[in-house]
Structure 1
Amino acid sequence: MRYTQRTQPQKPPRARSSAKKMTIQDAIDAYLLHHQATNSQPKTLEWHTHCLGAFRAFCDEASLSPMEDVTTEQAQRWVISLQKAVVTSRGKRSARTVNWYFRSLRAFYRWCLHRGFIEEDVTAWLELPKVEKPLIRILEAEEFERLLVACSVDDLSNRSTGAHHVARNEAILWLLYDTGIRLAELKTTDFDRARGTIIVYGKGRKERKIALGRNALQVVGRYLTYWRQQFPSANEVQQFFLTEQGGITREGIKMLFRRLRLRGGFTDRRVHPHLLRHTFAVRYLMSGGDVFSLQELLGHEDMETIRNYMHLADANVQAQKRKFSPGDQIQLTSRKANRTGFRKAKE
Structure 2
Amino acid sequence: MKDAVQDFIHFLKIEKGLADNSISSYQRDLKQYITFMKEQEQLTNIEEIERHHIRSFLSELHLQGKSSASISRMISTIRSFHQFIVREYQVTHDASLHIEKPKTERQLPKVLSNPEVERLLNIEGDKPIDLRNKAMIETLYATGLRISELLALKVDDLHLLMGFVRVFGKGGKERIIPLGRHAQHAIQQYVDEARPILLKKNKNDALFLNHRGNNMTRQGFWKVLKALAKSQGIVKEITPHMLRHSFATHLLENGADLRAVQEMLGHSDISTTQIYTHVSKSRLKDIYKDYHPRA
- TM-score (normalizing by structure 2): 0.91
SS at match of 1:231: helix
1:121 paired to 2:94: yes
1:200 paired to 2:167: yes
Residues 198, 209 of structure 2: 8 Å contact kept:
yes
User: Mapping of 1:260-299 within 5 angstroms?
Assistant: 260-267=228-235, 269-299=236-266
Counting aligned pairs with the same residue, the percent is: 26
Runs of 4+ deviating beyond 6 Å:
none
Residue 107 of structure 2 corresponds to: 134
Tell me the CA shift for residue 136 of structure 1: 1.5
The structure with the largest helix share of the pair is 2
Tell me the CA shift for residue 235 of structure 1: 5.7
Residues 108, 275 of structure 2: 8 Å contact kept:
no
Residue 210 of structure 2 corresponds to: 243
User: Mapping of 1:127-166 within 5 angstroms?
Assistant: 127-149=100-122, 151-152=123-124, 163-166=127-130
SS at match of 2:121: helix
Distance 2:90 2:143 in 1: 43
CA offsets, 1:139-188, max 9 Å, x none? 11111122223x44xxxxxxxx7622111111111111111100000122
Residue 273 of structure 2 corresponds to: 306
SS at match of 2:158: strand
SS at match of 2:6: helix
1:26 paired to 2:3: yes
Q: Return the letter of the residue paired with 1:27.
A: A
Tell me the CA shift for residue 52 of structure 1: 0.3
CA offsets, 1:70-124, max 9 Å, x none? 1111111111111112xxxxxx222211221121111111222232442222222
Distance 1:284 1:107 in 2: 35
Residues 180, 280 of structure 1: 8 Å contact kept:
yes
Number of residue pairs aligned between Structure 1 and Structure 2: 288
Residue 30 of structure 2 corresponds to: 52
Q: Return the letter of the residue paired with 2:268.
A: E
SS at match of 2:166: strand
Task: Mark the structure with the bigger radius of gyration.
Answer: 1
Distance 1:43 1:310 in 2: 27
Gaps in structure 1 of 5+ consecutive residues? 1-23, 86-91, 153-160, 330-347
1:79 paired to 2:29: no
Gaps in structure 2 of 5+ consecutive residues? none
Residue 46 of structure 2 corresponds to: 67
Distance 1:40 1:76 in 2: 28
Distance 1:43 1:319 in 2: 36
- TM-score (normalizing by structure 1): 0.78
